[in-house]
Structure 1
Amino acid sequence: MGEKMFNALFTGAVKGTYRASLGAAQNSGHPLRVVLRLGAPELVALPWEMLYDRETESYLCHELPLLRRVPAADYSYRPLAVEPPLRILGVVPAVRDLPALDTEAEKANLSTALAEPIAAGLIELRWVPNATWDGIQSALLDGPWHVVHFIGHGDYDVVRQEGLLALESATGRSSMVESSRLLQLLREAEPTPRLVVLNSCSSGESGKEDLFSGTAAALVRGGISAVAAMQFTVTDSAAIAFSRGFYGALAHGRDIDRAANSGRRSIMGLGTFEWVTPVLYVRGDATRLFNLGGATSGAGPIPPAPKSPPIGHEREEPRKLALYERALSSLGEKHYPTAISLLGEVLALDAEFRDAAALLAGARQSQEFVDIYYAARQAQNVGEWGAAAQGFKRIQDDPDFQDAGPRRESCERRQRLADLGKMMWQRAEMGDWRSVLALHRDLLALDPSATDPSGLVSRAHKEIIYAMARKAERSGRLTEAVGGYKEVVRIDPGFRDAMSRLRRYRPFAE
């Protein structure tokens, strides 16, 4: 699906411009971001985060920041100066008429994900005691709040064409709040939170969308700088991983689109495809929401800080060592995205620190192999045998992927079986029934349990016997012809005109 979407989107001049821009970005060392401007609801609903580039054999959002931009011609903001911590207000409505939430578990999950930046004083997380309209309004007054993180249920009103969120009512039942009213509620905070995160929960209706896209786009159109939403229900482990990577990157000064990519990479470390779930909506052209440390700047990157005096360098040594040791631990646990992030921080402090550069290169290679492996597994699951075999072949010599070789062999065999089946159909359409049987013999040699695909083998036998009977008939060998028609009728009484010919010529053969 991802490859089909890519080919539909990147065609003609658009594809050429994309390739040229990608090359220019790589040469300059500056990141390229993919910005989607989607107007039609049927396009918004598609999982564009699955875009797959066959030429580079990679998903776009693995390599590049990908965001959905909501136009805002009248909106040009400066990043908000924030003296750490970054303050997050968590909202988990506990409503009794919708699929039940374990509110304490949901709170614990996010708190666990943010444990390190909270301990470091980079993030503060507070929870709304009562997630009613009045309860949230009261909590917003106790600001400032930089982020509002909602965990719960969403829906979409097809009549009003507006997203809905389920808050608590005074009676404990759900109170569905339209995105337009939610926006007014958020404006109770001063300043209005720059970021809203809408997180579907694993205890919701399994396998169904939580329909946050309508709410996310409406909030951004109404003035929220950015909204990160989950387009599908996610597992607890994926939600924790995304929050850890996403908020950790924000707390370290990353732009919002790069922070979303960090969240996706954290999910990749789990070995699941849930990295397609997070969707980022951004208002206008700027992607930097905060300037941490209190310094203001324009919408571009924060300028590099002046070099520290020697005493500052001495203070950095414990931090470098701590980051390095955490990276080693992550590498030992094969959590490559975390290791890559930590080693990047080490090298930003000291480009020659120990073997950090070599470890970073190795971690990136290992993560690339992980991505290749799971892309190959996905291709295998959907029957794309050639693509799966190619992926497994690239990593089969790595001891971490001992099943890659057997999987490659299995996929190559399945591809050969598929090719033989396709060739049998082609020969059948040409009327070359003897080749159909020969190809079937090759198929049985590969897989003795292979069945007769769509009855082609049975039909080939009937066609060959019938043709031989007709030939005997034309040559006057009526006894031989009748014997052939008898065999065809025994196999299939309704095949062609075998029955009528048998009745016609049987008296002459007796």
Structure 2
Amino acid sequence: MASPAGEAEGTFALPFTEQDLEILVLKITGSVSSTRRRVRRLESVEQRLLEDFGGQLFDAVFTGSVRTCLERSLTAAEDADAGLRLRLRVAAPLENIPWEFLYAREYGFLCLSPETPLVRYVAMPRSVPPFPVRPPLRILAMLSAPSDVPGLQNEEEWDKLQTSLSHLIARGMVQLDRLPVGSLAALQRPMRQQQYHVLHFVGHGLYDEDADDGALVLEDETGRARLVTGRDLGTMLRGYRSLRLVVLNACEGARSSVDDPFGGVAQALVRQGVPAVIAMQFEISDPAAVVFSQSFYEAVADLLPADVAVVEARKAIFAAENDVEWATPVIYLRSPDGTIFEEASDPPPAPPPPVDDPSEQRRRQFAEWNRAAALALEQDRWNDAIAALEQLTAAGDNDPDTARRLLYARDRKQQTEPATQPVIAEVRDRLLAKLIDLSLYLILILFLAPSADGGELDTDDWLRFGVLAATVAIYEIVLTALWGCTLGKYVLRLKVVRRRDRRPVGWTESLLRWFVQFLAWVACLVGAAVLYASLLWDKSELHQGWHDRVAGTLVVKLPPR
């Protein structure tokens, strides 16, 4: 042990068997759901269990001269009005012990105090200087949900991440972007085009016992599962100096092998050059993950050391009546003082030119508008970017790049800021629209239906039937594909959109909707009645009928004209 109070050494004997540790982990993970459903008591069973475990672990580590060094170091830190960082370097067989539960009766849980942050320190030959940043902190989210691996819904996870960071995004402290797909290849272009500071992974993680290595479950080019080790991911991230932190919201992401201290995903990333990695040593619940993201990224955006930011996030989880999950996040650091970011200093301003030079004044004004536009575009503030670029254009800037950026900003504003979000159409409006359409069909039937003379149908009659069916099909398919509505829906301000992104439907969706309805009408009134009654059976409040489900569509109510 090396400390501000000197060096010491002692003999460590693990006070638990491997079976004891497995039982403890099962109790911890098994208690997560139950502890969230009840109000915290003065001292819960789980907290007493963890205090007992952490206390035995603390007493086994800090004995004799080692304990004396710790106490003297804490006293010295307190006298200097500073904290004492506990940098843990353990042998590979001890990596899987949840050291974050270290507990001393006189200090409490060490991990819950910013005065005693505990990190799993990875010593490397090269030092890691902090990277200069100015707001916003840029986070690239990577969500992986392979089609052949159940249990993760991409859109729901993305909504949770956006919700947890919404107040930081609104204040301009954080910029959150998302990879289009959760594949290894999808990382290249965004990382090349933008200086991202954080990679936030959400998905499945596992430990391959046969390969003795940790892995993340990413997507391949077909959307199916592909196991990617920490070494492989680290290879893709090397060379991007702005990337200072990787957060792995994946169960078993922090686990290591018995022989290789970098066998886990987190350790492998650190060895590949990532200054700080946060991984979950147990599966983390959704509420705890949301609280962690909110508090942690707020502290990082405030330029706190990474380990202190983790302490703040742990305290937030503990304050949310969660006795267990505050120790789930584990931080691995290469930085000795935990500082991975520092505030970027602006270059000294150039001496201003004489103010009586009109051409120089014009040049400086153009430069100011260009800087404002560039910053607004970088932070996705489309209105500010449009205002600055329009000022340039009005002042006579004929640079083609200015026109191109203005067109881009207007397009992005139109895509990201719809005027009014439509709401799901009520069942009664949909049925009334269908009655209007059926009235039109009735008029067609009166004109085109075969004559009822009691005899067999001749060629003319079959031709009439064909024309009638084709007219109805064209009416339903073409109008829906081109305008998203039939005449009945137009009257009631209804529109058919795709469920996944609320964008207009195309020919494929329109054809599928009509074909399912056609099959229902083939079964006469009973089939049609059952089809439209299926609108009432949808418990998700989306009012999707069977034809909507097959085509992947929704019917929404447009705002009044």
* TM-score, scaled to structure 1: 0.54
Structure-2 separation of matches of 1:191 and 1:253: 17
Q: Retained in 1: the 8 A contact 2:131–2:242?
A: no
Shift, 1:127, TM fit = 0.6
Give the one of 242, 260, 278 matched to 2:292: 242
In structure 2, stretches of 5+ residues that fail to align are: 1-52, 257-263, 348-561
Residue 141 of structure 2 is matched in structure 1 by 90
For 1:114, give the aligned amino acid: L
- SS of residue matched to 1:114: helix
Give the one of 88, 92, 95 matched to 1:36: 88
Q: Retained in 1: the 8 A contact 2:96–2:255?
A: no
Q: Going by fraction, where is helix more abundant, 1 or 2?
A: 1
Is 1:270–2:320 an aligned residue pair? yes
Give the one of 190, 194, 199 matched to 2:249: 199
For 1:65, give the aligned amino acid: P
More displaced stretch, 253-262 vs 31-40: 31-40
Q: After superposition, what is the alpha-carbon deviation per residue over 1:184-213, rounded to whole angstroms, capped at 9, x for unaligned? A: 11126x335110000126xxxxxxx45555
Shift, 1:96, TM fit = 2.3
Residue 78 of structure 2 is matched in structure 1 by 26
Residue 55 of structure 2 is matched in structure 1 by 3
Q: Retained in 2: the 8 A contact 1:195–1:226?
A: yes
Structure-2 separation of matches of 1:96 and 1:35: 40
Structure-2 separation of matches of 1:87 and 1:15: 42
Q: Retained in 2: the 8 A contact 1:156–1:211?
A: no
Q: Retained in 1: the 8 A contact 2:102–2:109?
A: yes
Give the one of 256, 264, 267 matched to 2:306: 256
Q: Retained in 2: the 8 A contact 1:91–1:150?
A: yes
Q: Aligned residues, how many?
A: 285
For 2:178, give the aligned amino acid: W
The correspondence of residues 382-421 of structure 1 with structure 2, limited to 5 A, is none
Q: Retained in 1: the 8 A contact 2:138–2:175?
A: yes
Shift, 1:119, TM fit = 1.1
Structure-2 separation of matches of 1:249 and 1:257: 10
Give the one of 180, 191, 194 matched to 1:129: 180
Shift, 1:111, TM fit = 1.3
More displaced stretch, 92-101 vs 11-20: 92-101
Shift, 1:139, TM fit = 2.4
Is 1:107–2:158 an aligned residue pair? yes
Structure-2 separation of matches of 1:149 and 1:39: 28
Pair 88,36 (structure 1): closer, same or farther in 2 beyond 3 Å: same
Structure-1 separation of matches of 2:66 and 2:292: 31
Residue 364 of structure 1 is matched in structure 2 by none
Residue 12 of structure 1 is matched in structure 2 by 64
Q: Retained in 2: the 8 A contact 1:83–1:292?
A: yes
Shift, 1:14, TM fit = 0.8
Structure-2 separation of matches of 1:84 and 1:6: 40
Shift, 1:118, TM fit = 1.1
Pair 295,166 (structure 1): closer, same or farther in 2 beyond 3 Å: farther
Q: Retained in 1: the 8 A contact 2:254–2:330?
A: no
% identical aligned pairs: 41
Residue 215 of structure 2 is matched in structure 1 by 164
- SS of residue matched to 2:336: coil
Pair 110,275 (structure 1): closer, same or farther in 2 beyond 3 Å: same
The correspondence of residues 314-333 of structure 1 with structure 2, limited to 5 A, is none
Q: Retained in 2: the 8 A contact 1:71–1:221?
A: no
Structure-2 separation of matches of 1:88 and 1:121: 13
Q: After superposition, what is the alpha-carbon deviation per residue over 1:152-172, rounded to whole angstroms, capped at 9, x for unaligned? A: 111223444332111101222
Shift, 1:51, TM fit = 0.6
Residue 233 of structure 1 is matched in structure 2 by 283
Structure-2 separation of matches of 1:101 and 1:135: 19
Structure-2 separation of matches of 1:224 and 1:120: 28
Q: After superposition, what is the alpha-carbon deviation per residue over 1:300-322, rounded to whole angstroms, capped at 9, x for unaligned? A: xxxxxxxxxxxxxxxxxxxxxxx
Shift, 1:225, TM fit = 0.2
- SS of residue matched to 2:217: strand
Q: After superposition, what is the alpha-carbon deviation per residue over 1:54-82, rounded to whole angstroms, capped at 9, x for unaligned? A: 233x111112211000111x211321111
For 1:225, give the aligned amino acid: P
For 2:59, give the aligned amino acid: N
Structure-1 separation of matches of 2:214 and 2:250: 14
- SS of residue matched to 1:281: strand
Structure-1 separation of matches of 2:232 and 2:63: 40
Pair 71,159 (structure 1): closer, same or farther in 2 beyond 3 Å: farther
Structure-1 separation of matches of 2:267 and 2:253: 14
- SS of residue matched to 2:175: strand
Shift, 1:295, TM fit = 6.3
Q: Retained in 1: the 8 A contact 2:127–2:334?
A: no
Is 1:118–2:118 an aligned residue pair? no
Give the one of 60, 66, 70 matched to 2:118: 66
Residue 52 of structure 1 is matched in structure 2 by 103
Pair 252,210 (structure 1): closer, same or farther in 2 beyond 3 Å: closer
Structure-2 separation of matches of 1:75 and 1:118: 34
Residue 190 of structure 2 is matched in structure 1 by 139
For 1:259, give the aligned amino acid: A
Pair 212,44 (structure 1): closer, same or farther in 2 beyond 3 Å: closer
For 1:66, give the aligned amino acid: L
Q: After superposition, what is the alpha-carbon deviation per residue over 1:27-68, rounded to whole angstroms, capped at 9, x for unaligned? A: 21111111100222x311011110110233x11111221100
Pair 212,131 (structure 1): closer, same or farther in 2 beyond 3 Å: farther
Structure-2 separation of matches of 1:278 and 1:241: 12
Structure-2 separation of matches of 1:182 and 1:61: 29
The correspondence of residues 292-307 of structure 1 with structure 2, limited to 5 A, is 292-294=343-345
Q: Retained in 1: the 8 A contact 2:254–2:266?
A: no
Structure-2 separation of matches of 1:193 and 1:75: 16
Pair 232,83 (structure 1): closer, same or farther in 2 beyond 3 Å: same
Compute the RMSD of aligned alpha carbons. 1.8
Is 1:79–2:130 an aligned residue pair? yes
Pair 78,264 (structure 1): closer, same or farther in 2 beyond 3 Å: same
Structure-1 separation of matches of 2:346 and 2:306: 18
